[in-house]
Amino acid sequence: MSEKFQNFINGEWKYSDSGEFSENRNPANWKEDLIGLFPKSTVKDVKEAVQSAKKAFEKWRLVPAPKRGDVLKVVGDLMTERKNEIAFEMTREMGKVNAETKGDTQEGIDTAYYAASEGRRLFGMNAPSELNNKMNLSFRMPVGVAGIITPWNFPMAIPTWKIFPALVCGNTVVFKPAELTPKTANTLIHIIDTAMKEVLGKDYIPGVVNLVHGSGRVVGEAFLADKDINLISFTGSTEVGKRINEVGGRELKRVSLELGGKNAQIVMPDANMDLALDAVLWGAFGTTGQRCTATSRLILHKDIYDMFVTRLTEKTSKLRLGYGNNENVDVGPCVSEQQRETVEYYVNVGLNEDKAKLCCGGKRAEDGDLAKGWFFKPTIFIEVTPEMRIAKEEIFGPVLSVIKCRDLDDAIKILNNTEYGLSSSIFTNNVNDAFKAVRDIQAGITYINGATIGAEAHMPFGGVKATGNGHREGGWTVYDFYTEWKAVYIDYSGKLQRAQIDNY
């Protein structure tokens, strides 16, 4: 009998009202490795969680911010202690290799310590008054109940990017993780609650964080409909993001969206080729290509195109596939059967509709134990042109489209020829080209001589165009999303002073 997991509502672990469960399985060993059963929650569960968060907000907002930060300090410590176990279980539930799930967990730890210290800053701003004997101040105030909806590809890092700053700012949280990665979410909430109890002691407040498992269709939609959720932070597909913006907009909810990407790496003829090769391998096939910042297009200068493609194909064909908790594995499976089908669909588009040339992969990997999981061979299409679908649409799998360019201007034009704008990269040793690329590439993130992936927790993270709606996560920037500004005027003149009237 496999373990049945629970929701966390109002400080208690409890089963959903539905009494139903969904299975969480290992994508590298689908039939044999059942991780656990997670609640299929209902609208009623969501309502209960939101009401508990609403009630808890009245107390949590009054806990001094440095003390709220202390909770996050303990969270970081507990995550550090449990890092190996968290990474092992994360690999088991979503497939990326253990070094990467350790990195995912470390990003959560970094975010916790950053948030802990932010509890002692949360700086407001002062400005001089235009009147005598008057003081002008402004403060950051919490917004209220935060609805957090996350995808499966960074099951720890992405929830922490949202939940930790939300909490430090004094908001309370209702969290719906992806149905494919519920176990990491359970561990995270367990850790947060343990830290709350340790730091707050007898002043513990139930309902500050709530976890509701279930599908986007039911639980996610219930977030949108609930009038007591004041803000929604969402990371996921552009399609769902648009729906959240539409419904949330109607209710005047504050909405932060981190959506899709079609990221590209440019390689110029003067670049360090070994470095550029290693970067594209890591960028395109790390996390089995299932990163929002994955390198999905490679834009090669015509003078190095043939050489680079030859060397890249050779290196790619040597990547070792397997269960990510085993030694010597470079690439794990796709996260689900459905995700592998999407990849296969796009390989067919590349071959039959776009008529690009396949130079490696293009098939399921089914040798030996690989047949037990959703493995797909790292795939490269060459002779891709900017108008092809495989050059424009997000695939979210181990598929790279290689495009030839004439010069830097052409490369940047090709790079910008997508509806998305998350990450980007250029390999060059020409300082003028590098600065021009920084100025002209339309993306939220640009790497010079680095892969498109590898964001750091204290830097702004997010994209332009269809990648989002202008907010940023990470670093100091996310604190703008989780707070409202309050302007305060203090008049100590002892008389009625009329701004813009008495002083002019």
Residues that bind ligand NAP (CB under 6 A): 149-153, 176, 178-179, 215-217, 220-221, 224, 235-237, 240, 243-244, 258-261, 292, 394, 396, 422, 467
Closest by CA to 299, choosing from 207, 450, 406, is 406
Q: How far is the CB of 2 from ligand NAP (least distance, A)?
A: 19
Nearer to ligand NAP, 17 or 407 (CB): 17
Catalytic residue among 48, 93, 292, 394: 292
Q: One-letter amino acid identity for 111?
A: T
- Work out whether the CA dihedral 385, 387, 392, 393 comes out positive or negative: negative
Nearer to ligand NAP, 72 or 422 (CB): 422
Contact of 94 with 120, CB cutoff 8 Å? no
Q: How far is the CB of 410 from ligand NAP (least distance, A)?
A: 26
Q: How far is the CB of 235 from ligand NAP (least distance, A)?
A: 5
User: Can you tell me the distance from the alpha carbon of 22 to that of 43, in angstroms, rounded to the nearest whole number?
Assistant: 16
Q: How far is the CB of 220 from ligand NAP (least distance, A)?
A: 2
Nearer to ligand NAP, 24 or 172 (CB): 24
User: Can you tell me the distance from the alpha carbon of 80 to that of 113, in angstroms, rounded to the nearest whole number?
Assistant: 11
Catalytic site includes residue 405: no
Q: One-letter amino acid identity for 264?
A: A
Catalytic residue among 100, 107, 258, 473: 258
Nearer to ligand NAP, 322 or 397 (CB): 397
Contact of 210 with 55, CB cutoff 8 Å? no
Contact of 5 with 164, CB cutoff 8 Å? no
Q: How far is the CB of 440 from ligand NAP (least distance, A)?
A: 22
Nearer to ligand NAP, 41 or 150 (CB): 150
Long-range contacts of 406-414 (CB under 8 A, 24+ apart): 406/301, 406/302, 407/301, 408/266, 408/268, 408/433, 408/436, 408/437, 411/266, 411/268, 411/299, 411/301, 412/266, 412/436, 412/437, 412/440, 412/441, 414/264, 414/297, 414/299, 414/386
DSSP structure class, residue 221:
H
The residues, any chain, with a CB within 8 Å of residue 92's CB and separated by 6 or more, are 26, 33, 35, 325
Nearer to ligand NAP, 136 or 237 (CB): 237
Q: How far is the CB of 418 from ligand NAP (least distance, A)?
A: 12
Nearer to ligand NAP, 142 or 261 (CB): 261
Beta strands in 178-280 (DSSP E): 209-211, 231-235, 254-258, 263-267
What does the CA dihedral 409, 410, 412, 415 come to, rounded to 10 degrees?
A: 180
- Strands 423-427 and 263-267: what pairing? parallel
User: Can you tell me the distance from the alpha carbon of 88 to that of 33, in angstroms, rounded to the nearest whole number?
Assistant: 14
Q: How far is the CB of 301 from ligand NAP (least distance, A)?
A: 27
**Six token digits for residue 224:** 């949108």
User: Can you tell me the distance from the alpha carbon of 238 to that of 217, in angstroms, rounded to the nearest whole number?
Assistant: 15
Catalytic site includes residue 258: yes
Q: Which residues pair with 301 in a beta bridge?
A: 405
Q: How far is the CB of 41 from ligand NAP (least distance, A)?
A: 11
DSSP structure class, residue 266:
E
Exposure b/e, 3-38, CB count within 10 A at least 16 = b: eebebbbbbeeeebbeeebbebbbbbebeebebbbb
Q: How far is the CB of 136 from ligand NAP (least distance, A)?
A: 37
Nearer to ligand NAP, 425 or 428 (CB): 425
Closest by CA to 213, choosing from 452, 416, 32, 36, is 36
Nearer to ligand NAP, 79 or 229 (CB): 229
Which residue numbers are catalytic? 258, 292
